[in-house]
């Protein structure tokens, strides 16, 4: 069975509540791209992503998605210009050989990361979905079997402007059965710890982790980690600049709190270096940036280093979420899976049957491939395609 076509869909979906909520001062997020201080990255008011459809000669299609929250047109062009022509005519039942071939196309030019990796991830997910559909088997089964059919989660983000509002939302989640939350902070050590205190007071049963969004230097990161440890914090994510491998290693040596890293890393080679350097204690690969093939290789490296995996998931829609759940089910040492309520709600729009969601876990999607049913007409409408 050969691959007959590859098609890309650039989506920019509006939702009444933006990712991570309003700006810190409570004002609305303006249209277009902007930096959300104190964070340094560009963010979009809309939920932007790249979907890829790979179709076999019998008409069976698999779907993939890249984590492309800004300018998804870029990885779409990479798929269209560089990857799709090579895929045509390849074996639709062999995702791993296809991945290796596509990875090598630009490998010697240094393009194993960035937009090239995002494009590869979307195609790789689609290839696994296609292979599963053709074989009548879930992706987790193709990966060797699921260790679990319920993936534990934490609620990621309390997208409100004030600590009182965040505390109220935390209490609401606890009342609905959530067991843990992760706060998106980085507003200064004192402000971050005040937010943690407010949430712990309102919902004392919740485990609390903090994502610092790469905002701190070494001294402030140590202060924040110490304060969180004193408060029984769960883990500290992305405390330092994303390229500061040695800084993360030193921080980990100086704190009792586990340091979590991984959303910026795209491949086994990067993770291997961070693992060898003991620069992370919780690994957070995002399948929409690594692809399924590479995510499983990363998970095996983590297992060899006795580092648990807690997959990252942010603005991706239903395809990347389903892919992450299948990978999470097939990973032996899974710590937890990230649940973004707003992104998940938006991501359901492209599915005929919504993914089942619980405040404390995701059930593994059943059925062949990724176990989801894409509403292609909705995708085409959102992408502006006939």
Q: How many domains does the chain have?
A: 2
- The pLDDT-based confidence of 42 (bands split at 50, 70, 90) is confident
Residues 133 and 146 placed together within one structural domain of the fold: no
Phi, psi of 220 (to 5 degrees): -70, -35
Do 170 and 124 reside in the same domain of the chain? Answer: no
- Do 101 and 115 lie in one domain? The reply is yes
The predicted pLDDT at position 35 comes to 87
Which domain range does residue 182 map to?
A: 142-372
Q: How many Å from the N-terminal Cα to the C-terminal Cα in the chain?
A: 27
Written in H, E and C, the secondary structure of the chain is CEEEEEEEEEEEECCCCCCCCCCCCCCCCCCCEEECCCCCCEEECCEEEEEEEEEECCCCEEEEEECCCCCCHHHHHHHHHHHHHHHCCCECCCHHHHHHHHHHCCHHHCCCCHHHHHHHHHHHHHHHHHHHHHHCCEHHHHCCCCCCCEEEEEEECCCCCCHHHHHHHHHHHHHCCCCEEEEECCCCHHHHHHHHHHHHHHCCCCEEEEECCCCCCHHHHHHHHHHHHHCCCCCEECCCCCCCHHHHHHHHHHCCCCEEECCCCCCHHHHHHHHHCCCCCEECCCHHHHHHHHHHHHHHHHHHCCCCECCCCCCCCHHHHHHHHHHHHHCCCECCEEECHHHHHHHHHHECCCCCCECCEEECCCCCECCCCECHHHHHHHHCCC
Question: pLDDT at residue 113 above 80?
Answer: yes
Question: In DSSP terms, which residues pair with 152 in a beta bridge?
Answer: 361
Q: Which residue has the tokens 């110490």?
A: 226
| pLDDT tens, residue by residue, 209-241 | 999 999 999 999 999 999 999 999 999 999 999
* Count of other CB atoms within 10 angstroms of residue 17: 13
15 and 124, same domain (yes or no): yes
**CATH code (residue 173):** 3.20.20.120
- CATH number of the domain within which 121 lies: 3.30.390.10
User: Do residues 123 and 179 both lie within one domain?
Assistant: no
Calpha distance 293→124 (Å, rounded): 7
Q: Do residues 228 and 117 both lie within one domain? A: no
Residues 133 and 156 placed together within one structural domain of the fold? no
Q: What confidence tens digit (pLDDT) does each residue in 131-146 have?
A: 999 999 999 999 999 9
| Domain shared by 187 and 270, yes or no | yes
Comparing 21-25, 71-75, 308-312, 327-331, the range with the smallest average pLDDT is: 21-25
162 lies in the same domain as 234: yes
pTM beyond 0.95, yes or no: yes
Mark whether 186 and 256 lie in a shared domain: yes
In DSSP terms, 54 is beta-bridged to: 6, 62
Cβ atoms of 128 and 99 within 8 Å: the answer is no
Closest of 148, 143, 129, 151 to residue 367, by C-alpha: 129
Residue 15 has a pLDDT of 85
Domain co-membership, 50 together with 164: no
Q: 64 falls in which pLDDT band (50, 70, 90)?
A: very high
Residues 6 or more apart in contact with residue 329 via CB below 8 angstroms = 140, 146, 147, 148, 149, 151, 364
d(CA 362, CA 322): 10
Residue 39 has pLDDT above 90, yes or no: no
Q: In whole numbers, what is the pLDDT of the chain averaged over residues?
A: 96
On whether both 166 and 310 belong to a single domain, the answer is: yes
Are residues 207 and 154 in contact, defined by beta-carbon separation less than 8 angstroms?
yes
Kindly report the CA angle at 113 between 185 and 60, in degrees rounded to 5? Answer: 100
| pLDDT digits 0-9 by tens, 262-312 | 999 999 999 999 999 999 999 999 999 999 999 999 999 999 999 999 999
Average pLDDT over residues 335-340: 98
Quote the pLDDT of residue 143: 98
Least Cα distance to 343 among 73, 137, 156 occurs for 156
Q: What are phi and psi of 362, to 5 degrees?
A: -110, 125
């Amino acid at each position: 069975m050969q691959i007959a076509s590859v098609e890309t869909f650039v989506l920019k979906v509006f939702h009444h509540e933006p990712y991570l909520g309003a700006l810190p001062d409570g004002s609305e997020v303006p249209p277009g791209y902007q930096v959300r201080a104190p964070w340094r990255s560009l963010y979009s008011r809309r939920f932007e992503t790249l979907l890829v459809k790979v179709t076999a000669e019998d008409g069976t299609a698999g779907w993939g998605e890249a984590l492309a929250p800004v300018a998804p047109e870029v990885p779409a062009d990479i798929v269209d210009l560089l990857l799709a022509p090579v895929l045509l005519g390849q074996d639709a039942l062999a995702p791993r050989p296809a991945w290796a071939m596509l990875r090598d196309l630009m490998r010697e030019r240094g393009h194993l990361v960035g937009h090239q990796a995002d494009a590869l991830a979307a195609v790789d997910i689609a290839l696994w979905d296609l292979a599963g559909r053709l074989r009548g088997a879930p992706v987790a089964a193709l990966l060797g079997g699921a260790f679990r059919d319920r993936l534990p989660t934490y609620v990621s983000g309390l997208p409100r402007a004030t600590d009182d509002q965040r505390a109220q939302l935390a209490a609401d989640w606890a009342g609905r059965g959530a067991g843990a939350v992760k706060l998106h902070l980085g507003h200064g050590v004192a402000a971050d710890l005040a937010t943690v205190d407010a949430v712990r007071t309102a919902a004392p049963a919740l485990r609390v982790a903090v994502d610092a969004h790469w905002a701190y230097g070494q001294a402030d990161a140590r202060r924040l980690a110490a304060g969180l440890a004193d408060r029984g914090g769960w883990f500290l994510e992305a405390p330092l600049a994303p390229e500061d491998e040695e800084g993360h290693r030193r921080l980990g040596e100086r704190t009792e709190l586990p340091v979590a890293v991984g959303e910026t890393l795209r491949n086994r080679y990067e993770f291997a270096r961070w693992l060898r350097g003991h620069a992370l204690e919780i690994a957070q690969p995002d399948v929409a940036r690594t692809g399924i093939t590479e995510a499983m290789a990363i998970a095996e490296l983590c297992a060899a280093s006795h580092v648990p995996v807690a997959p990252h998931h942010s603005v991706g829609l239903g395809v990347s979420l389903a892919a992450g759940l299948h990978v999470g089910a097939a990973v032996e040492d899974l710590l937890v899976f990230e649940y973004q309520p707003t992104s998940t709600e938006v991501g359901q729009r492209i599915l005929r049957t919504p993914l089942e969601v619980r405040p404390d876990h995701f059930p593994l999607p059943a059925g062949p491939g990724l176990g989801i049913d894409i509403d292609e007409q909705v995708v085409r409408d959102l992408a502006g395609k006939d």
